[in-house]
Structure 1
C-alpha cells in the first residue's frame, strides 16, 4: 500500500497506556479524520506507573485504562483493548506473540504501529524493556504468526482466519524514513496526553519540550521550521 494512501483499518500496539499518545497520537488523529478505523492494543495496564500514586496496583490499572480510553477518544479511536500483561515484566514470549496475532486476525489491519524492537543507545528512554518486548513480539506476530494458518493452532480453533499486514510503522526506529505533519492536529495530541493525569505532572513544561522535539522532526523531514511532525520507520511486511 502506498504510504500516502489511507488504509481502511489500522492497529496500534503499545506496551503501556500513554505510549501511543507520546509517539503517534497526532498521526492517529490525521488518520481518523480521513476515515481510517483505528484500534489500540495496550499490552499492559501500566499499573507500575505513577510516582506519587495512592492505592494499590489494581487501582492504578483501572485509572490508567480509563485515561487511555479518554485519550483515544480525543483522537477519534473507539476500539481500545488491553491484554493485561504485568507492567515492567514483559518478555518477547510465544504467548505474547499469539495474543497480538489474535488481535491482528480479529481487527485485520492494513497498517500497524508498534515500538521498535531495537535499543536506541543514543537516547535510552524509548528503550524501556517493555517497549522492546512489545516491538519484538509485535513484529513476530505480523510475520510469520498472523499470516501463517499453522501458527498457534488455538487461533484456528477460534475461527480466526490468517491475515497479512502489509505495512508496519515503527516508532523510535533506527532508520526513520517517514515524517507526518501533525501541525493542524497538535492540540488534539496534547489533549490526549493531558488525559494521563496520573502520570504527567507539570504539563506545560512537557508540552514545551514536545513542541520543540516535534519541530526538530519537521525540520529533519524537510517540512519547514514552522511545522511539527511525528517520525516513523516504515517497514514493508507484505
Structure 2
C-alpha cells in the first residue's frame, strides 16, 4: 500500500542519525518521504544568538541538508529557522503550527521524530509539538508515529529511559545512511565521538546483535492505528 512518510527533526543531521537507514528501506519499497528540519543549527555556538555572524555557515549547512537528503531519495525538504537549542524560548504553538503546515500539505501516514526524554531540550519540544499537531482525530492522516534515538543525546541523558520496542534491519541501507552523514561535513565528529561515521556504524551493529541482525535502527512506538 502506497504511503507517505514525514521525518520531523529538530536539527540538521538528526534525520540521518535517527532514521535514515529505515526510511531509505521504505523509499526503496515505493514509499514517498519528506523531511522537516525545525531548527536553524549553528547559532547556539555563539555566546549570543547573532544570525548575521553565521549566515555563511548556515548557507553551507542548508546545502548539506539537501545533499544528504537526496542520497536516500527524500522528495522534499522543509527548513524552518527556530533558534538552535533555544526552542524553549519560542511559543510551543508556533512550532506546532510549523509542523501542522507541512503535515497538511503532504498528509503523511507515518511520522518519525525525536524521543520525549532526550537530553537536548529541542528534541523534547519537537516531540511534544509533533504529538500536539497529530491529535488522533477522525480526519488525521497520521496513523503511525515512531520516536528515534540521537547519538550523543539520547544515551547521554540520565537516567537512560529509552526502551525501544521496534527494530528495523538496515543491513542493506547502512551504507546509504553513512553516505548521507558524510554530506554533513560541518557536523561530523572524529571517533570515538558517537556522531562519527565509525560510531554510527558500530552503534547500528551493536544494536543489531541484540535482535539477530547485522545492523538495525531502534524506535519507540508512540502510536499505531490500523
TM-score normalised per structure 1: 0.78
CA distance in 2, matches of 1:204, 1:32: 31
CA distance in 2, matches of 1:178, 1:210: 18
Partner of 2:101: 102
Contact kept, 8 Å, 2:25 with 2:173, in 1: the verdict is yes
Deviation, 1:7, is 5.2
**Residue 170 of structure 1, aligned match among 147, 163, 173:** 147
Partner of 1:195: 183
**Residue 132 of structure 2, aligned match among 137, 140, 152:** 140
Partner SS, residue 208 of structure 1 = helix
CA distance in 2, matches of 1:237, 1:101: 19
Deviation, 1:22, is 1.0
Kindly provide the CA deviation profile for residues 99-125 of structure 1, in whole angstroms up to 9, marking residues without a partner as x: 211211111011000101224xxxxxx
**Residue 79 of structure 2, aligned match among 77, 82, 85:** 82
Deviation, 1:143, is 1.4
Deviation, 1:48, is 2.5
Partner of 1:151: none
Structure 2 stretches of 5 or more lacking a match?
47-51, 150-160
Query: 1:1-238 counterparts in 2 under 5 A?
Result: 8-48=3-43, 56-91=53-88, 93-119=92-118, 127-143=119-135, 147=137, 163-172=140-149, 174-202=162-190, 206-220=196-210, 222-224=211-213, 227-236=214-223, 238=225
CA distance in 2, matches of 1:230, 1:78: 22
CA distance in 1, matches of 2:44, 2:197: 20
CA distance in 2, matches of 1:117, 1:137: 10
CA distance in 2, matches of 1:50, 1:197: 17
Residues 141 and 237 (structure 1), Cα distance of their counterparts in 2 relative to 1, 3 Å cut: farther
Contact kept, 8 Å, 2:109 with 2:142, in 1: the verdict is yes
Residues 170 and 163 (structure 1), Cα distance of their counterparts in 2 relative to 1, 3 Å cut: same
Partner SS, residue 56 of structure 1 = helix
Kindly provide the CA deviation profile for residues 56-103 of structure 1, in whole angstroms up to 9, marking residues without a partner as x: 222222111110110000011130001211112113701111221121
